[in-house]
Amino acid sequence: MGRASRLKNNPDRERYRIQRRETARVFQQRGEQYQSDVPFETAVQKACVHEAGHIVASVALGLHVTYAIVTAEQPPGYAYQIGGYTEVALGEFRSAEEAQAVDKDPETLRMPAVKEVAGQIAESFNHDDLDDIRKGATDDDEFASKCALVTLRKPDGSWPDELELQKSVNAYLSARDTEAFELLKPRRVAINRVANYLMTHLNDEVLGATLAALVHDEETTSE
């Protein structure tokens, strides 16, 4: 199943009709800007759910969330701008060499790759505007693709041929999509809890300890 269909065929998301407006807005996601014509309030909610997906997946994977932030601005007479960022740490290392070795370990890279694609998976639970979701996850996909390239490089430092490499990268990303979906599906209430908190703390850095507590509270009560 391809990456787009992985979202499209998600049976658990609630459907809704996109509210179209004549004036296109600007939705900013981690540095990438693109035109979006969803209303400001909807865009804010989507950004918070997207970031909550990153956060919940990170906590579930055992990654340390340092902080997260969702920024939202709507200056009078200008297009709105919305952005989100979640910082995670893989761990503490005794030397730069040890840290660099982790950057090349396929199993270690798998976790941040899952974390990156988890944002758009979380969005797809509640929204069906797949093009808009994809545009807002450009940076996420680029990072996950870099993780794939590291794992696909041959021991001698060479690469597979272009066609084989593209197929392998797509397969890697599809596998991470599936993993993120299975990880987040039983944690949808936790996603909503975190997203709602972010919505009430726009433009503020929310510490990882606070976010982890929100996630764990949900996991504890749902068991």
Tens digits of per-residue pLDDT, 209-219?
A: 999 999 998 44
Q: Does the pTM exceed 0.75?
A: yes
Question: Which range, of 62-66, 74-78, 160-164, 218-222, averages the lowest pLDDT?
Answer: 218-222
Tens digits of per-residue pLDDT, 158-212?
A: 777 888 888 999 999 999 999 999 999 999 999 999 999 999 999 999 999 999 9
Q: What is the pLDDT of residue 116?
A: 92
Tens digits of per-residue pLDDT, 99-146?
A: 555 556 777 788 889 999 999 999 999 887 777 788 778 888 888 888
| CA–CA distance, 98 with 103 (Å, rounded to integer) | 9
